[in-house]
Amino acid sequence: MKAKSLIAVSILALALASCTTGNSSANLEPIPGSITYNGQPRTKLTKSPIGSTFTHSFRRWNGDRVIETYQIQPDRSIKIIDRRIIRDWLTFGRDD
């Protein structure tokens, strides 16, 4: 019975260790595929209200799907405020 408990606790510890909190409070750096990866885009979003948000999704080199949320700043630049990485369930077994 102790071996089963140890296995269950180990699985729970691994699951909790892989949990992440939201990235919205951190300054997220652009990654390849991000709109701002090579700097701010040349065109400005002039019709969208300051503070409004939009999403951009793309695939990374390993097949993971990335969904980023951007917010329009007062100077009309855009800032990444959230990033979700959706991993291949068969390979990794969970989403971030």
What is the model's pLDDT at position 19?
47
For residue 45, name the pLDDT band (cuts at 50, 70, 90): confident
pTM for the full predicted model: 0.65
Contacts of 84 (CB under 8 A, 6+ apart): 66, 67, 68, 95, 96
Most confident segment among 10-14, 38-42, 57-61, 67-71: 67-71
Structural domain includes residue 92: no
Structural domain includes residue 64: yes
Q: What is the mean pLDDT of the chain?
A: 79
Structural domain includes residue 71: yes
Q: Are 45 and 76 in contact (CB under 8 A)?
A: yes
Structural domain includes residue 10: yes
Termini Cα distance of the chain: 33
What is the model's pLDDT at position 61?
85
Q: Are 88 and 96 in contact (CB under 8 A)?
A: no
Q: 34: domain range?
A: 2-86
Structural domain includes residue 94: no
Overall number of domains in the chain: 1
